Copies of this chain bind each other. A is one copy, B any other.
Amino acid sequence: MTQVYSGGTKRFSGIFTPIATPFRADDRLDETALRSNVAKWMTTSLTGLVVLGSNGEAAQLDDDEADRIVDIVREGVPRDRSLIAGTGRESTRATIDATRRAAAAGVDAALVRTPSFFKPQMTSDAFARHYTAVADASTIPVLLYNVSMYTGVNLLPDAVEKLAVHPNIVGMKESGGDIAQISDFVTRTPDEFTVLAGSATTLFSSLCAGCDGAILAVASLVPDACVRMAALVRDHQIDEARALQRRLLPIARSVGSSYGVPGLKAALDLMGYVGGVPRPPLRPVTSEVVEIIRGQLDTLGALAAPARAGALG
């Protein structure tokens, strides 16, 4: 039995994956697939799961679907692993409401994406008010979540430094690869504040800079490799870690900036999970991209024999 990885003594340190939401061909939630995917991840060393994240197509789900997904996943995640749910909305009141619903469903922490629609007004002051109100109202710990690639706004170190002293704000996820900013987050927050990386293409560097773990789409595919990376950096085996990063880079790019959620879903199919179709306007990657991804997974030794032979598709 694989041991559950803990990144250290901080709350929510370790390696998490933001799970995809499998849809059926008729664009409805595939509950059976979701259950089986979760069960399979529970056989890995992953510290825990993140549900309703960006990669879970949370922006495209209605509230009823979101609640249903949390219930299903919670059933499948035992208490020695952490379950985190994305609960960010554009308004403070909707965010508080979503966070309360997640808490009621037994989630361990809320990952709260920055509001972002009114970009010029999303100042550090606005973020401070928003997150303080959410953390005050929440019965579960709150993790800040900065994902500029999708939101077009940036949660600056100044704001994080102030928010990190709130007793109910226990950490953050930074999805970008700006290592100077990541270093600032590590440096300017208290020791007990958890900083999680979100970019697999800069995982090694983020861990060197002092991150306590990561929330990575690629960890849905090769969880043990991601856990191993964290352990190598912890043990100062820098050369081995750098070499591992190099090996992970192609698939990290594919399920990141290159092909996004559709790429992740194709890769999940290849790995024996059920990725399913992305929800429109997203659409599946082409068969050419499937072959690129298959090659990347195969090079990593991640594929079982049938997938290597191209039997899936």
| Chain A residues engaging chain B, CB cutoff 8 angstroms | 27, 54, 59-62, 90-94, 115, 117-122, 126-127, 129-130, 133, 149-152, 177-180, 183, 187, 199, 201-202, 204-205, 208-210, 233, 236-238, 242, 245-246, 249, 257-258, 260-262, 279-283
With both chains docked as a complex, state the minimum distance between the C-beta of A96 and any C-beta of chain B, in angstroms.
10
CB contacts (< 8 Å) of A121 on chain B: these are 260-262, 281-282
A91→B258 CA distance, assembly (Å): 20
Min distance, Cβ A18 to any Cβ of chain B, angstroms: 14
B279 touches A246 (CB 8 A): no
- For A257, list chain B residues within 8 Å (CB): 120
If A187-B246, A205-B208 touch, does A126 touch B178 (CB 8 Å cutoff)?
no
The docked-state distance in angstroms from the alpha carbon of A262 to that of B118 is: 11
Rounded to whole angstroms, the CA-CA distance of A210 and B60 in the bound complex is 36
| CB contact between A280 and one of B93, B187, B245 (< 8 Å): that residue | B93
CB pair B202 A180 closer than 8 Å: yes
Contact, CB under 8 Å: A93 / B281: no
Partner of A92, one of B120, B127, B281: B281
Q: What is the chain B residue whose CB lies nearest that of A285?
A: B121
Are A91 and B60 in contact (CB-based, < 8 A)? yes
Say whether, besides A205-B205, A208-B238, A118 and B179 are in contact (CB < 8 Å). no
User: Assuming the A-B contacts A59-B117, A152-B152, A208-B205, are A281 and B180 also in contact, with contact meaning beta carbons closer than 8 angstroms in the complex?
Assistant: no
SS class of chain A's interface: helix, strand, loop or mixed? Answer: helix
A130 contacts B177, C-beta separation under 8 Å: no
17 interchain pairs (CB within 8 A)? A54-B117, A59-B117, A59-B118, A62-B94, A91-B279, A92-B279, A92-B281, A115-B281, A119-B150, A120-B257, A120-B260, A178-B178, A179-B202, A183-B246, A208-B208, A208-B242, A233-B238
A247 CB to closest chain B CB (Å) equals 10
List, in ascending order, chain B residues with CB within 8 A of A133's CB: 280
Given contacts A238-B238, A279-B91, whether A201 and B180 have CB atoms under 8 Å apart is yes
In this complex, which of A92, A152, A236, A282 has the most chain B Cβ atoms within 10 angstroms of its Cβ? A282
Q: Which residue of B lies closest to A89 (CB)?
A: B60
| B245:A183 contact, CB within 8 angstroms | yes
Cβ of B126 and Cβ of A281 under 8 Å apart?
yes
CB of B209 within 8 A of CB of A92, answer no
Task: Using CB atoms, name the residue of chain B closest to A233.
Answer: B238
Give me 9 other A-B pairs in contact (C-beta within 8 A), A129-B280, A233-B238 excluded: A59-B117, A59-B118, A60-B94, A117-B150, A119-B152, A126-B282, A177-B180, A179-B205, A238-B238
In the complex with contacts A179-B205, A202-B180, A283-B60 CB distance below 8 A: no
CB distance from A123 to the nearest CB of B (A): 9
8 A-B pairs with the lowest CB-CB distances in the bound complex, closest first: A60-B91, A152-B152, A130-B281, A59-B117, A92-B280, A179-B179, A59-B90, A126-B281
